[in-house]
Amino acid sequence: MTHTKLTQHIVDFAALPELPQIDDVFVCLGTTIKVAGSQAAFRAVDYDAVMAVAQMGRAQGATKLGVVSAMGADAKSGVFYNRVKGEVEDAIAQLGYTSVSIVRPSLLVGDRGPLNQPERPGERIGLVVSKLLKPLIPANYLPVQAEDVAAGLVQAVKAGQPGVQLILSGALQGAATRTAAT
């Protein structure tokens, strides 16, 4: 993607270079334990790298932060994935940003090819089941388009409400369409 206001940095998250002064930070990093290869490697991405970017952004003057987390994030969870997501949410809330927007999407729908991520059979089954049972499934549990997650995150950061906002999947549904209509 190219834009006059966009600068892309390819970095080693364990040794981030100093970034220029910035206003807003968006962190959309994440992996799976299977792709990462171990719990430690997963944590290096989903906690350490996320925190490195958030801390660097704050050090460079950013006052608003938007981050993609996960449905079920809870620092006290017995599920490793959800626990790490919850721990990073809690840590981010302590960094001193004026506004923090955390989106918690359910099952993400979108083209994973550019990310070199294989299609996961469980997700395919989940999508079929959710289509069949859509009228019975609460909005926060329905699959959500990746573009809706991105648009919802941008909208929340732009709004800049003080404090920490948790934005659940139901509120993200259709966000890209709402953005296009404005």
Question: Is 63:98 a contact under the CB 8 Å cutoff?
Answer: yes
Cα 108 to Cα 74: distance, rounded to the nearest angstrom: 19
CA-closest candidate to residue 86, choices 95, 77, 94, 74: 74
Domain boundaries, the chain: 20-181
pLDDT given for residue 98 in this prediction: 97
For the purposes of burial, counting CB atoms within 10 Å of the CB of 128, is it exposed (0-12), middle (13-18) or buried (19 or more)? exposed
Give pLDDT, residue 52.
Answer: 94
Query: pLDDT tens for residues 103-160?
Result: 999 888 766 555 555 566 666 666 666 666 666 677 777 788 889 999 999 999 999 9
pLDDT(182) > 80: no
Q: Which CATH architecture has domain 20-181?
A: 3-Layer(aba) Sandwich (3.40)
